[in-house]
Amino acid sequence: MPETSLEQRRHNLDLSREGLAAKAGVTARTIYNIEVERVNPQRATKHVIAEALELPVDDLFPTTSGSAPDKSAPAKTGAETPGNVAA
């Protein structure tokens, strides 16, 4: 299985999963899940890992075709407010 961008960058910096996890403030299991299980992490997790690897989030976690780039703050819509029910 080919390496992910995350795994390539981690190896280039000579970091273990545990080392990257400590630097990013996440668990080594989180790094494993992203690299091996191909789990799509939450936005905040993407940001702390990208910062630890000194890369822009979009370089480390490319968006799928047709998706907007990951932004640091989610867009606000009326549908996100509690008690708002779509008809």
- Please write the tens of the pLDDT for every residue from 4-30: 789 999 999 999 999 999 999 999 999
pLDDT per position as a tens digit, 30-86: 999 999 988 999 999 999 999 999 999 998 888 754 444 444 434 334 444 445 444
Cβ burial of 73 (10 Å; 0-12, 13-18, 19+) is: exposed
Q: Would you give the distance in Å from CA 25 to the centre of its chain?
A: 13
pTM of the complete model: 0.68
Produce one character per residue of 40-57: b if its CB has 16 or more CB atoms within 10 Å, e if not.
ebeeebbbbbbebbeeeb
Between CA 47 and CA 34 the distance in angstroms is 13
Domain 5-60 belongs to what topology?
Answer: 434 Repressor (Amino-terminal Domain) (1.10.260)
Where do the structural domains in the chain lie, given as residue ranges? Answer: 5-60
